[in-house]
Amino acid sequence: AYSVGVPAALAAWRRLLAPAGWLVLSELCWREGARSAEAAAFWQREYPDMGDVTQLEARCAAAGYAVRGGFWLPDDAWAAYYGPLEAAVPAVRARHPQAEAQAALDDIGREIALWRRFGGEFGYRFVVAQRG
């Protein structure tokens, strides 16, 4: 859904599901509570369509799905992803000195730093939904 947007993804998947078929969608969402200015600015640049759980569930309902449940990706899954990624960055930097590669690695570093400081403000929300 990230690359095409939640509404477009839900519409495309709807055509592939049997009546009353099920899907599980993961989407980057804001958690409840206050948002830091730094995290809000970062995600506004990187993923301006990012919403909260209520907005995600409303998008599902508008596309003809009944939300039957949901859960957050656990924090240790983020650490399992970002830890090895962060460890690999220096070697990738050394092998790819091109400006574009260095800029992409800088972006990765900024995202990891943001997660370390403000990871409690956002996460991947999984929604279990049934085609209506």
Which top CATH class is 6-131? alpha beta
Spell out, as residue ranges, where the chain has pLDDT lower than 50: none
Output the CA–CA distances (angstroms, integers) from residue 111 to 42, 59, 107, 124, in the order listed: 8, 26, 6, 14
DSSP 3-state of 25 = strand
Query: Residue 27's pLDDT is what?
Result: 97
Query: Residue 3's pLDDT is what?
Result: 83
